[in-house]
Amino acid sequence: MNRIRMLGRNLGVAAVAFALLGAGTLGAPAQAATNITITLQMWSGPEGVAMRPIVARWNKEMSPGTGITLVETEPSRDGYDALITSQLLSRSGTPDIVFPFNWDIPRVASAGTLVDLNPYIRKDPGAFKMSDFFSVAVDAANINGHQYDLPLDMSLPILYYRKDLIQTPPATWDDVVTMADQFTRSRNAKSPTLYGTTLYGRTGRAEPAQLWEEIYWPFGGELMDAGFHSTIANEAGVKATEIGRTLVAHGDVPQPVTNYEYPQVLAALTNGSVAFIQEWNAAWGQIIDKSQDPTYADKIGYAPIPGIASGGTIKRFYHVHTIGLAVNASSKHVAEAVRVLAWLESPDVAVEYTVAGGNTPRKSIFNSAAVAKVRPGFQSWLAQQVSCCGQLEPKLAEMPDIDDLIMNKYLNGAWAGQLQPMDALSKAQAEINALLKKDGVQK
């Protein structure tokens, strides 16, 4: 009896499964003859969420007239780069519009997988209004005169601090160390917070290098010279690296720094463990949201990133990168996808996106009243910071390798005290140069 039952069970499971499978495929939306579906792949996070009402708006307002239906997908941030890379390299035609980081663009564009938008922009400049964008944001995806994306979000690390505990936020990097010492309980028993600040050290990510740039550039350093030779092993580099090293050596940051990235860094501030952090501007929306941050929502303020005092002023630099909308070259509906992209990026649509949680770097948006209502003062202040002091990394296909692997490894090694700063930077420089030479980039 048991054997028959078991066989019956197996067959039953298979039958049910096939039935469900059949039902599943039947449920797939049928495509009307005149209807084109454009897939827009965002990612899971505030950007994805902010885009949902926009997609709904297109489908309601624009879809009947254009015959284009817009569908949004939001995969997780884990494996996101591998996902986009596989989709683009496989030339499969979907998604039509992707949402890449600007540092990934040089290499996928070199492979010919993205559409150059310049011809479309030249044909219809009114639809794109390029001059309204911050030039640094547009420049981020301009590779050798080809415009491969339009920026949808702009990211730069700024300073967030506990304004109930700190009167004047640190203005220079030396101030940062002093203040971090002050607010670390192991050094100052009266400190209201456990640690002064945090360090973004997560392996395999670009943040360690990018946040380090905001220390290195004000010291006068350049990442590369005109011939694409790495030039970081110098006094400026050493000084910049010493900041992080001192913070770690003094115990001013929670350990292990090699695990810290956005969620942990932000949580450290919003749960009261640290006094100030260097963190992406996108965090502001989350910080002032009382439902997510009930205790400290009104106790946290923002400030310009610290710099170096020079001749009576503070010289500061912001590392800027963008996440933009690009069109898949293998898409079956390139022209339609570009049209949708232009609409999404247009000022009166993107302002809605920004209000919902995005960060589209248009001057009109950052200074608009609608945005000022949800983030009073913040975006217009951000506009000033970007205009004066925003800087991009070199636009090379090798940048992910350089930042995620080489710089990450050596910065962490120097911060942890395993390597002397000059030693670490020299080794990093050598590896970067070897890589660029091998790829034939160096002149």
Partner 1 sequence: MADSPDRRVAPGISPRPRSSRALGRGGATALVYATLVIAIIGFLFPIVVMLLDAIKPTPLITQTPPVWRFVPTFEHLHNVLEIPSYPFGSYFRNSVVVAAVSTGITLVASFLAAYSMARHDTGGRNFDFWILSTRMLPPAVLLVPMYVFFNTFHLIDTVWALIIVYMTVNIPLCTWVLRSFIRDIPFELEESAQMDGAHLQHILLRVILPLTAPGLAAVAVLCFIACWNEFFFALIFTQANAVTLTKGTAAFVGAYETEWGEIAAATGIGMIPPLILGFVVQRYLVRGLSLGAIKG
Partner 2 sequence: MGAGKLPLAAASPGTGLPALAAPGRMSRLWARFAQPRYVLLWPITFILLLITVYPFLQALRESFYGVTIQNYFSAPFVGLQNYAMALQDQAFWASLGTSLIYVVGSVSVEFLLGLGLALLVSRPLWGKRILITLLIAPMLVAPVLIGYSFLLQLDPLYGPVPYWIAQYLRFTFGGQGPLGPAYALPTVMAVDIWQWTPFMFVLLYAGLQTQPAEVVEAAHVDGAGFLRLLVQITLPLLRPVIAVAVLFRTVDAFRVFDSIHVLTDGGPETATTTISVFIDHTAFLAGNFGEAAAVSVLLIILVTIIARVLVRALFGQQIAVTR
- Please give the residue ranges that form the binding site for partner 2 (CB under 8 A): 78-79, 81-82, 85, 89, 106-108, 110-112, 194, 201-205, 251, 254-256, 258-259, 264, 267-268, 271, 273, 397-398, 400-401, 404-405, 409, 412-413, 416, 439
The interface partner of residue 7, options being partner 1, partner 2, none and the CB cut-off 5 to 8 Å by kind, is partner 1
- Residue 442 near which of partner 1, partner 2, none (CB within 5-8 Å, type-dependent): none
CB nearer to partner 2: pick between 244 and 361: 244
Q: Which is nearer to partner 1, 78 or 439 (CB)?
A: 78
CB atoms within 10 A of CB 437: 12
Nearest-approach distance from CB 55 to partner 2, in angstroms: 27
Q: In whole angstroms, what is the distance from residue 55 CA to residue 57 CA?
A: 5
CB of 92 to partner 1, least distance (A): 4
Pick the closer one to partner 2 by CB: 187 or 315.
187
State the nearest-atom distance from the C-beta of 378 to partner 1, in Å.
16
State the nearest-atom distance from the C-beta of 129 to partner 1, in Å.
Answer: 27
404 touches, from partner 1, partner 2, none (C-beta below 5 to 8 Å by class): partner 2
Q: Of 346 and 379, which CB lies nearer to partner 1 in the complex structure?
A: 379
Q: Which does 409 bind (CB under 5 to 8 A by kind): partner 1, partner 2, none?
A: partner 2
Residue closer to partner 2, measured from CB, 57 or 107: 107
The distance of closest approach from Cβ of residue 401 to partner 2 in the complex, given in angstroms and rounded to an integer, is 4
CB 344 within 8 A of CB 54: yes
Three-state secondary structure call for residue 175: helix
Tokens read off for 376: 């009073």
Residue 144 C-beta: closest distance to partner 1, Å: 25
By beta-carbon proximity to partner 1, the closer residue of 46 and 394 is 46
Q: Is the Cβ of residue 203 or residue 384 nearer to partner 1 in the bound state? A: 203
DSSP for 282-332, please give it. THHHHHT-TTT-TTTTTTEEEEPPPBEEETTEEE--EE-EEEEEEEBTT-T
Measured CA to CA, the distance from residue 338 to residue 359 in angstroms comes to 20
Q: Which is nearer to partner 1, 10 or 255 (CB)?
A: 10
DSSP 393: P
Compute φ and ψ for 130, nearest 5 degrees: -65, -30
CB 102 within 8 A of CB 322: yes
Q: At what angle do helices 207-216 and 235-249 cross, to 10 degrees?
A: 120
Q: How many CA atoms lie within 13 A of 181 on its CB side?
A: 9
Q: Are 111 and 88 spatial neighbours (Cβ–Cβ below 8 Å)?
A: yes
Q: How far is the CB of 264 from partner 2 (least distance, A)?
A: 7
Please say which residue, 255 or 418, places its beta carbon nearer to partner 1. 255
CB of 273 to partner 2, least distance (A): 6
What's the closest the beta carbon of residue 243 comes to partner 2, in angstroms? Answer: 19
Q: Find which of partner 1, partner 2, none residue 362 binds, CB within 5 to 8 Å per kind.
A: none
Of the two residues 272 and 347, which places its CB atom closer to partner 2 in the complex? Answer: 272
Return the number of the residue (28 or 33) whose C-beta is nearest partner 1. Answer: 28
Q: 227: exposed, middle or buried (C-beta count within 10 Å: 0-12, 13-18, 19+)?
A: exposed
Yes or no: say if 228 and 442 are a contact pair by the CB < 8 Å rule: yes
Do 193 and 400 touch, CB atoms closer than 8 A?
Answer: no
How many other CB atoms are found less than 10 A from the CB of residue 304? Answer: 17
Non-local CB neighbours of 437 within 8 Å, separated by 6+ positions: none
Interacting residue ranges for partner 1, rule: CB under 8 A: 2-3, 6-7, 10, 13-14, 16-18, 20-21, 24-25, 28, 39, 41, 43-49, 52, 71, 73-80, 82-83, 85-87, 89-95, 194, 262-263, 266-267, 270-271, 273, 280, 282-283, 286, 291-295
Contacts 24+ apart (CB under 8 A), 290-297: 295/270, 295/271, 296/162, 296/269, 296/270, 296/272
- The item of partner 1, partner 2, none sharing an interface with residue 262, based on CB under 5 to 8 Å by kind, is partner 1
Binding partner selected for residue 256 from partner 1, partner 2, none, CB under the kind-specific 5 to 8 Å limit: partner 2
Question: What whole-number distance in Å separates Cα of residue 265 and Cα of residue 262?
Answer: 5
When CB distances are held under 5 to 8 angstroms depending on the partner's kind, the choice from partner 2, partner 1, none that residue 144 binds is none
| Residue 401 binds: one of partner 1, partner 2, none (C-beta under 5 to 8 A by kind) | partner 2
| 24: partner contacted, choices partner 2, partner 1, none (Cβ within 5-8 A by kind) | partner 1
Query: Measured between alpha carbons, how far apart are the two ends of the chain, in Å?
Result: 79
Tokens encoding 137: 């944001």
Contact predicate 216/237, CB 8 Å: yes
